[in-house]
A and B are shown apart, each in its own frame.
Chain A
Amino acid sequence: MNNINKIGIVELIDRILEKGAILNADLIITVAEVPLLAANLRLALASVETMIKYGVMNDWLEAIDITEKEKLKPQLS
């Protein structure tokens, strides 16, 4: 797995867990357990190369539609 795919996953998970429209707090359930989920995910991302090595996330990477572009050029010329 290259760095490009890792960045795509980080970008996606950051958004799904941290962002989005906010509903009034009194309407939604207390999500005290959710940080555990987020922590698990972040730990998973830290070892994402190992997961790919064992094929854990390959299907997911193929399924998610993350288009990425990169360009390397010399800087500070």
Chain B
Amino acid sequence: MSNNALYIYGIIRTNKDWKEYGIKESNVFLINEGNFSAIAHSCEEKPYNSANTAEIKDLIFAHNRILDKAIENFDAVIPLSFNTIIKTSEEKTAEENLKSWLKDNEENLLGIWDKILGKKEYGVRIYYEKEKLLKKIKELHEIKQLQQKNQKESVGIAYLLKGKIKDEINKIAQEQIFEYKQNFFNNIKALVSDITINQSKILLDEEKDLLVSISILVNEEQIQKVNNYLVDSNFYFNIAGPFAPYSFVNHQKSNFQDHQKSIISKTPKTGGFCRDE
């Protein structure tokens, strides 16, 4: 099979030449059209894959390394996801297809470039402490009243009321969590160039009390402000990065409600987290 396709790592704003070694030591080069160049290597018309975990991590790392190098050299990169491979068509070569795409999308690319230039993406995960939250809710007057009432009831009614108390605690907890998320989103949004809520498909065991996972687009000054804000928030948090701005090169939802609707529609429902009241 011939190498007539093009693996694309990302797009940069330059018409200079640049060479690197990429996935499987392939020769990486630039294909220019107008203001932009695609970072590419020649490959077969099939995606990279492997059943071997070590090989997979090498592929992923090589993709990421090229993007890091591009940022070092050109101050920004519009990243493409792993395994973006441009194919030939009946009328055009892969290079001609790529150049047509760069030409047709130049205005859009200019807008994205202006937005990401000099900025980096970080992932922020904020956690809540479930036990502390539940303890706080149980101290609420309305819950205490229900519990006191329950103690005076017969066994049958007490059983039913116990379920009602549990439902009420869960409801208040969900409302509180929503409020925390909304506040974090809106307060961090005011400190950064752009923000989006992540929908990670991987949830680590330690992360069952994850409040929200977001991506932020920031410069050096902004990331410090976000860090200071989170320190002051008294919540446990983690900041990972910097990354190429993967989350900010497509159309973004601009407010918390839009994000929330999108996440709710895609997230399977789980049971209440107050299991035994």
Contact = CB atoms under 8 A, between A and B. Distances in A.
A63 B57 CA distance: 12
A3 B247 contact: no
* Overall SS of chain B's interface: mixed
Interface string A35-54: 01100111011100001000
B240 A11 contact: yes
Given A34-B47, A36-B49, A71 B84 contact: no
B29 interface: no
Interface string B97-129: 110010000000000100000000101010011
A18 B240 contact: no
Q: Is the interface on chain A under 10, 10 to 19, 20 to 34, or 35 or more residues?
A: 35 or more
Nearest to A56: B54
Interface in A1-34: 3-4, 6-8, 10-24, 26-29, 31, 33-34
Contact of A3 (B206, B231, B235): B206
Interface in A52-77: 56-57, 60, 63-77
A37 B56 contact: yes
B54 A29 contact: no
Given A56-B54, A64-B61, 20 more contacts: A10-B200, A11-B243, A13-B60, A16-B246, A20-B10, A20-B246, A20-B249, A21-B10, A21-B79, A27-B97, A33-B49, A34-B82, A40-B56, A41-B56, A56-B53, A63-B61, A65-B68, A66-B240, A76-B128, A76-B133
Contacts of A36: 49
Contacts of A66: 240-241
A14 B123 CA distance: 11
B234 A44 contact: no
Interface in B22-58: 45-51, 53-54, 56-57
Contact of B53 (A6, A10, A26, A40): A40
B236 A70 contact: yes
